[in-house]
Amino acid sequence: MKKHQKKLLVALPLVAAMSLVGCKNMSVDDLTSLGMKGLKAATLSDNDVKELSKQSCAEMDAQSKIAPAKSAYTKRLNKIAKALGNNLDGTPINYKVYITKDVNAWAMANGCVRVYSGLMDMMTDNEIQGVLGHELGHVALGHSKKAIQVAYATEIARDAAAASSNAQIASLSKSSLGALASAVINSQFSQKQEQDADNYSFDFLVKKKINPAGLATAFDKLGGGDSSILSSHPSSSDRAKNIRKKIAELKK
Ligand SMILES: [Zn+2]
């Protein structure tokens, strides 16, 4: 491990929190059960975070049914991605569709963006752009980095072999890597983080000359269904209201 590498520390405990798509469910019990070993392990460089994200994304890809390049879903996502761009603050973005009825989408710190066909079925292209702007916001604002540090600390505390290793990033067992990937995808962000990611998405869409209205109507749709992908604080209607207020201000 390089001595002078910049380290990041995980802020614990995380505030009990809420989500949009792809942002939920790491329990406080998971966090409080971390031993000192876990806390120490949570000190990761930016490169470590990218490497763990890469491994987590590869593990998710291996577990999922990826839409073929020629499928209508992939063609549609490519069109959506073209408007969003293939680069986030210098990190190349890699977009793929998972074929599943689940309604979800997420982005990881290494630029891995995955959109579930279930979400694509219920949303317009513009709404998907709004959702992806939000997920990219979690990456750009460093929320995803924190989430993977927490998830890594949790998994390494459970994974005896990894915890006893001094490697720069201890190699996790396959089951731990799967758990890490799932914890990252289901990271629970704080209310402030969610709001900041919403606002990031709004600014991002405006900058890319994409209509930000889709972000508001995406919240309308997510709020209408069962709430498994969207917790209620802040409520989806409040979040849609926030975006509509910003759209109104934009027109002034
Ligand atoms: Zn979110």
How many separate domains does the chain show?
A: 1
Confidence at residue 88, expressed as pLDDT on a 0 to 100 scale = 95
Ligand 1 center from residue 110 Cα (angstroms): 17
Distance 132 CA to ligand 1 centre (A): 10
List per-residue pLDDT tens for the chain, 252 residues long: 333 433 333 322 222 223 345 554 444 444 444 444 455 445 788 888 999 999 999 999 999 999 999 999 999 999 999 999 999 999 999 999 999 999 999 999 999 999 999 999 999 999 999 999 999 999 999 999 988 888 888 887 777 767 676 666 767 777 888 888 888 888 788 889 999 999 999 999 999 999 999 999 999 988 765 444 555 457 888 899 999 999 999 888
The Cα–Cα gap between 158 and 163 comes to 8
63 Cβ contact list (under 8 Å, min separation 6): 178, 181
User: Out of 135, 155, 194, 249, which one is annotated catalytic?
Assistant: 135
Q: Reading across the β-sheet that carries 94-98, which strands appear in turn? A: 94-98, 112-116, 105-107
Give CA–CA dist 98/224, Å, rounded: 23
**pTM for this one?**
0.80
Query: 48: helix, coil or strand?
Result: helix
| 51 annotated active-site | no
Residues 6+ apart with CB under 8 A from 147: 26, 138, 183, 184, 187, 189
Kindly give the distance from the C-alpha atom of residue 45 to the centroid of ligand 1, in angstroms, as a whole number. Answer: 23
Give the domain extent around 66: 3-251
- 144 alpha carbon – ligand 1 mean position (Å): 10
> DSSP of 119-158, one letter per residue?
HHHHS-HHHHHHHHHHHHHHHHTTHHHHHHHHHHHHHHHH
Give me ligand 1 centre to Cα 41, in Å. Answer: 25
